[in-house]
Amino acid sequence: MTSETAAGILRGDHDDYLILIETGRASVNYSACSPEVPGCVAVGDTIDRTAWEMRAALVGHLDVMWENGERMPRETGPGVLVEQ
């Protein structure tokens, strides 16, 4: 796979991963993770901001995995699930 193809995958595939968002204890913030990408997390002060931050985190995380020659996780999304 060429680096141009890898860049295309990294720009698009983050939308295919399920994002789980949970309300913080004081209900003033949110945290997010993706079950397919362990260790990739994000936080935000709104649901929309948290989803945006998580998508950005996925792009960065997948980019590092790609650079290190790691296997890309299989997608089970797309979708955002909010647990309150």
Q: What is the CATH number of the domain that holds 24?
A: 3.30.160.250
* Residue 1: band (very low, low, confident or very high) from pLDDT cuts 50, 70, 90: very low
CA distance 44 to 54: 9
Task: Provide the domain limits for residue 7.
Answer: 3-83
The pTM of this model reads 0.75
Q: How many CB atoms lie within 10 A of CB 4?
A: 8
- Please write the tens of the pLDDT for every residue from 2-14: 333 334 444 454 5
- Please write the tens of the pLDDT for every residue from 59-83: 999 999 999 999 988 887 767 767 6
Give me the number of domains the chain comprises. Answer: 1
Helix, strand, coil fractions of the chain, as percent rounded to 5: 40, 25, 35
Tell me how far apart the terminal alpha carbons of the chain are, to the nearest angstrom.
Answer: 41
Beta bridge partners, 83, equal: 22
